[in-house]
Structure 1
Amino acid sequence: MGNTTKRQRVLLAAAGTAAIAAGLSVWAVLSSAGEKTGIEKSQKKEISIVVTSLGTSFPPGMDENHNPYLDYIERNTKLNINVSLPPNESYHEKLNIVLSSTALPDMLYAVDDVWLSNKVQEHKLQPLDELIDQYGPDLKRKIPKEAWDQVTFNGMIYAVPSMNEVKGVELMYARKDWLDRLGLKPPRTLDEYYEVIRAFTFGDPDGNGVHDTIGLLLTEKLGRSAPFFGAFGTQLDSWLERDGKLVYSNTLPETKEALAFLRRLYAERLIDPEFPLNRTKTLEEKVASGKVGIFSAAWYDTRGPIDQNKQRDPKAEWIPLEYPTGPRGEKGTYSTSLVRGYSIVPAGSPNGADVIRLLNFIAGEGHSNLKLGFENEIWSMKDGKMVTNFPEHDKHKYRGIYSALVEVIEPELDKQRLDSLGEHFRLYENQKRVENNLIVNRFTGLPTPAMGKYMMKLSSMEEQFIKIVLGVASLDDFDQYVSRWRLEGGDEITREVNEWYRASLD
């Protein structure tokens, strides 16, 4: 409940013993498969790292240990790097197993701040201050103090932060050709959204004479619902200011109002009935199929499923919408945290200096090539503009597993990169639209002690929200959730959060 996303925490809370055991065996296979032999290994200092795959894949003949971008890193750092990619499911539980093994890696990449805090308290990690001072000049130069503050415990730095390049994710997109066919205007208010969603569900907007369209598409864990919570002035899993104090958004009456609205939509069959099972991949497939009329898109979906739909149906026309405005004139979406990931060195690793040298290269000299790809292969300059070779760009997206270890923000470079992917995708414009409509999470401090104790249990309780939307639980069960949340650690967390908030205002 600190700076991680709701999806990351729910994923962590859902980890099962069997999945962990399966993940360990896969990790072991990956580790053994990634070992390098021969002259190269003997000539370079060897380190091992455990990172997330980010859901990427590799071209034929390549893997996480054999590809030109890792070769580039190794050549410039004079390191031989053994990379392991545990499966994404229950990722942090697998990191726990790795940290408990006798053969510790030299670096792990984590994405959960409470997990990080707990490992610091368990003395599982090395402080990095001296190593950063000696081997990390680019890290110190490019990462702002606010980010370092989020990895500093008791005055010592325990991780190198990787920064979020975007401040928010979701915005509304709709089929304009469907609006035109049904004689509707782009919706602005929540009531207008309701009418459009109903028309897209039952009004045969694709003109095929069959009721087979999806008015509104959501994903599991109430994913892609942020603008509808924003219409009531709230967001899931955030700390918002009310009367000079921070309160947990999931306990607010406004959140109950938003759940009531979604419950109504579901009862009237206006939300995809399969939404509790929809993963991001499923959402992409359904949008690309041409059966979806409106959804809360990620800012990059215009280059993904929306573009795939337009390629299949050249008549399909998508437009961004104003965020739905609710009964009190409120609107918006959630803000992302400043830091999105943490590169850490386990206690006992003798190669901390080499890890910092690696991360310093990724943030500094290697940043452009790892972020953009190699010039004249992935991109080139033409008439003063960056032009991307799309097939090569898509082929080598895996380079992101390395650049993500320590992402730094360079706005001009990011704009150039986004525009080079095709200005008609509106990627930069989408980002700015999101940034102008944020409902900001006001808690930006380190995870509190009570969060470490109670977070997993409290996060699992949020399943009640899905039951309310589905009609399996009554709307009044929300009040029982709030009472239980407060009793089972929420009040203690709230007290600690407000102690931090008062201190931050001094």
Structure 2
Amino acid sequence: MAKKLNAYIVALLIILSLVMVACNKSDEVVGDTDSNGDAPVVDENSIERFAPIEGKEYELSWAPYITDPISPEGRMVQHYQDKYNVKFDMWNLDHQNIHEVLNLKFAAGEIPDYMADGVNINNLPLLVDQGVLLGFDEEVIKEYMPNVYEKATELEPNWLNYAKVGDKIYGLPEMRDVYKYRTTIVWRGDWLENLGITKTPETLEEFEEALYKIANEDPNGTGKKDTYGLSLSGIPAIFGAFGYVTGYGAHDWQDWFWQERDGKLVNGSVQPEIKEALELLNKWYEDGVLDPEFITGENMGGYWADSHAFINGKIGFTGHGQYYHWTGPLTDHPEDKGGSNYAELLKVNPEAAKSLVHGPPPVGPNGEQALYAPNMIAGKIIAFGAPLEQEPDKLGKILQILDETSGTTKENYVDALWGIEGEMWTEKGPGQRVPTPEYEDVKDSGAGKFAIDFALWDVSELGNEWAAENGYDVGAVRNQLVTALPSESRFRAELTKVRNEAYISIITGDKPVDYFDEFVDRWNQLGGEQLTDEANEWYSTIN
């Protein structure tokens, strides 16, 4: 009897030990399959739950930045489907109205897995509150995008924090490879020559002299007073000569600008020096040097970066678009017509296009010189849909695709941007990538829709070399506020509206120059003071 009892006890101890082992393993990845027998059961808090499942074909709803619709049969769509064993559901969302389109989709419960447009630092907290984005830990990026993570973190150690809300990451902050260079300063070189101006204007006084001559001394030889010195896109350079980027201008992507002053962040639009700039612009307006239709801007529709006022010979100086919109041909390929403004001007007036003069921003009375340049942290967030929470391994698959196309080698990145070398493009020389005849007019292939710019590879070699040679790094000033402020959504739109109304009223003479002081008080009362406090609270954390 004692022997049988001992045997039972031993058996019981063995069973208990097995149960203990099983319990200990329950905190780890369990080797058994789920109820469907499809995949290993993984602890919900484990990073392994994001691991793509071997042999599983993923259907990925893909919403890239769209300028032209992408065909589901596009060459690169098919290429990456075959390569990664996935099926892309391409979302051709209108970039011009991306926020409205996405909001309608979200309201209808439609959320893409991958979003490369419509999410940025400013609206990220709102979208997180709405529950449409997936949050995850930094370790997920480190594990499933190791190449991008290592290189991007070396460039900017805190890059992922710009997509952080609370204790979670909600996407991948894009970083630009053209961040070194400011916006444009372009002159009609043929007009300068006709007016006897042989030195490219550099100081504010030289700018003023040239602009008055362009407006008054018939640079186009028509015998009529039908030209002006500048319009809306040239105004930011004049503000910059007084030390600050105000945000007022043609481009909404630079309309909210903060700089450091005496160790604190300040909004450029309300600095006292801007009063002097507005007084000068009012003088130019009264004297017929500033285009009287400056309020409507230089672009009359179509591609946003084109200055029709400049192309059509109405003004002689512009700051419209980016430098790469104004380059001449950088390769010897017959289809290379240069940047969009250069190409359009070439059609209208070839001699004018070939005579363009690129100069520095004007140096003001106190030696100041400032013009907007993009931050390395671009503000755009590559985001992922909240429904991925139910299929986390799909996020791992997306991250692995982006890591290979964007972070492994420059060759992979170039292929993702331009397509398959030899079949879709050929290289005529360093940076001279030209499409093959079969793909010269093809815009729906999906090229450029499966890679992200993390500033890891210089793929604009010729353009960046051209920008450096033409001094586009001179006077570059970057926004020191690269996050959305807690109260920004409440106040920013109204503050921008009040600023624009005040500036226009002073420039046109509807209000006296001293109205600027009243505007500053109102700006502070309408939320500007609170936002300044919030900006400096954030600034203290990164300093």
Fold equivalence (TM over 0.5) = yes
C-alpha distance after superposition, 1:31-71 (max 9, x if no partner): xxxxxxxxxxxx94222133432xx336xxxx353422333
Residue 239 of structure 1 corresponds to which residue in structure 2? 258
Aligned CA distance change for structure 1 residues 226 and 73 (closer, same or farther; 3 Å): farther
Distance between the aligned counterparts of 2:310 and 2:436, measured in 1? 22
Percent pairwise identity = 26
Residue 152 of structure 2 corresponds to which residue in structure 1? 143
* SS of the residue 2:103 aligns to: helix
Aligned CA distance change for structure 1 residues 270 and 379 (closer, same or farther; 3 Å): farther
Residue 493 of structure 1 corresponds to which residue in structure 2? 531
C-alpha distance after superposition, 1:408-439 (max 9, x if no partner): 214543315x37xxx8xx34534xx2323222
Unaligned ranges ≥5, structure 2? 1-55, 247-255, 328-338
Residue 299 of structure 1 corresponds to which residue in structure 2? 323
- Picking from 496, 505, 517, the partner of 1:459 is 496
* 1:408 correspondence with 2:408: no
- Picking from 337, 342, 345, the partner of 2:381 is 342
Aligned CA distance change for structure 1 residues 150 and 310 (closer, same or farther; 3 Å): same
Distance between the aligned counterparts of 1:450 and 1:305, measured in 2? 38
Taking structure 2 as the reference length, the TM-score comes to: 0.73
Q: How far 1:158 sits from its partner (Å)?
A: 0.8
Unaligned ranges ≥5, structure 1? 1-42
Distance between the aligned counterparts of 1:397 and 1:292, measured in 2? 33
Amino acid in the other structure paired with 2:144: Y
The answer (yes or no) to whether the contact 1:110–1:116 under 8 Å persists in 2 is: no
Deviates more, 1:288-297 or 1:491-500: 288-297
Q: Considering fraction of residues, name the structure with more helix.
A: 1
* 1:112 correspondence with 2:120: yes
Residue 207 of structure 1 corresponds to which residue in structure 2? 221
C-alpha distance after superposition, 1:149-196 (max 9, x if no partner): 211223321111211222243131112221121112322221221121
Residue 272 of structure 1 corresponds to which residue in structure 2? 291
The answer (yes or no) to whether the contact 1:187–1:321 under 8 Å persists in 2 is: yes
C-alpha distance after superposition, 1:314-367 (max 9, x if no partner): 432111123211111111212322222111123223343343234334413542
Q: How far 1:78 sits from its partner (Å)?
A: 2.4
Q: How far 1:198 sits from its partner (Å)?
A: 1.7
Distance between the aligned counterparts of 1:458 and 1:94, measured in 2? 25
Distance between the aligned counterparts of 1:254 and 1:394, measured in 2? 50
The answer (yes or no) to whether the contact 2:111–2:132 under 8 Å persists in 1 is: no
* SS of the residue 1:327 aligns to: coil
Amino acid in the other structure paired with 1:249: G
The answer (yes or no) to whether the contact 1:343–1:405 under 8 Å persists in 2 is: no
Aligned CA distance change for structure 1 residues 138 and 98 (closer, same or farther; 3 Å): farther
Q: How far 1:252 sits from its partner (Å)?
A: 0.7
Residue 385 of structure 1 corresponds to which residue in structure 2? 430
Amino acid in the other structure paired with 1:96: N
Residue 27 of structure 2 corresponds to which residue in structure 1? none
- Picking from 414, 417, 421, the partner of 1:371 is 417
* 1:125 correspondence with 2:136: no
Distance between the aligned counterparts of 1:324 and 1:394, measured in 2? 40
C-alpha distance after superposition, 1:254-304 (max 9, x if no partner): 222223322322232222333322364654333333444211142112222
Amino acid in the other structure paired with 2:422: N
* SS of the residue 2:184 aligns to: strand
Distance between the aligned counterparts of 1:401 and 1:381, measured in 2? 16
Distance between the aligned counterparts of 1:479 and 1:113, measured in 2? 31
Residue 68 of structure 2 corresponds to which residue in structure 1? 57
Distance between the aligned counterparts of 1:281 and 1:115, measured in 2? 28
Deviates more, 1:310-319 or 1:239-248: 310-319
Residue 309 of structure 1 corresponds to which residue in structure 2? 345
Number of aligned residue pairs: give it: 443
Aligned CA distance change for structure 1 residues 277 and 73 (closer, same or farther; 3 Å): farther
* 1:191 correspondence with 2:205: yes
Distance between the aligned counterparts of 1:159 and 1:211, measured in 2? 54
| Larger relative contact order (Cα-Cα within 8 Å, sequence gap ≥ 6) | 1
Amino acid in the other structure paired with 1:313: N
Aligned CA distance change for structure 1 residues 495 and 486 (closer, same or farther; 3 Å): same
The answer (yes or no) to whether the contact 2:204–2:362 under 8 Å persists in 1 is: yes
Q: How far 1:118 sits from its partner (Å)?
A: 2.1
Q: How far 1:398 sits from its partner (Å)?
A: 6.7
Q: How far 1:378 sits from its partner (Å)?
A: 5.6
Distance between the aligned counterparts of 1:378 and 1:215, measured in 2? 44
The answer (yes or no) to whether the contact 1:367–1:403 under 8 Å persists in 2 is: no
C-alpha distance after superposition, 1:226-272 (max 9, x if no partner): 32111010002322222222111111112222233223222322223
The answer (yes or no) to whether the contact 1:235–1:249 under 8 Å persists in 2 is: yes
Aligned CA distance change for structure 1 residues 488 and 295 (closer, same or farther; 3 Å): same
Amino acid in the other structure paired with 1:165: D
Amino acid in the other structure paired with 2:77: L
Aligned CA distance change for structure 1 residues 367 and 399 (closer, same or farther; 3 Å): farther
The answer (yes or no) to whether the contact 1:290–1:313 under 8 Å persists in 2 is: no
Distance between the aligned counterparts of 1:397 and 1:427, measured in 2? 27
Amino acid in the other structure paired with 1:375: E
Taking structure 1 as the reference length, the TM-score comes to: 0.78
The answer (yes or no) to whether the contact 1:184–1:196 under 8 Å persists in 2 is: yes
Residue 507 of structure 2 corresponds to which residue in structure 1? 469
Distance between the aligned counterparts of 2:133 and 2:260, measured in 1? 34
Aligned CA distance change for structure 1 residues 133 and 189 (closer, same or farther; 3 Å): closer
CA RMSD of aligned residues (A): 3.0
Q: How far 1:143 sits from its partner (Å)?
A: 2.2
* SS of the residue 2:318 aligns to: strand
Distance between the aligned counterparts of 1:176 and 1:241, measured in 2? 35
Distance between the aligned counterparts of 2:221 and 2:95, measured in 1? 41
Residue 308 of structure 2 corresponds to which residue in structure 1? 285
Aligned CA distance change for structure 1 residues 278 and 478 (closer, same or farther; 3 Å): same
Distance between the aligned counterparts of 1:84 and 1:157, measured in 2? 24
* SS of the residue 1:81 aligns to: strand
Amino acid in the other structure paired with 1:57: D
* SS of the residue 1:48 aligns to: strand
The answer (yes or no) to whether the contact 2:418–2:448 under 8 Å persists in 1 is: no
The answer (yes or no) to whether the contact 1:52–1:401 under 8 Å persists in 2 is: no
Q: How far 1:381 sits from its partner (Å)?
A: 3.9
Aligned CA distance change for structure 1 residues 119 and 386 (closer, same or farther; 3 Å): closer
Residue 58 of structure 2 corresponds to which residue in structure 1? 45
* 1:480 correspondence with 2:518: yes
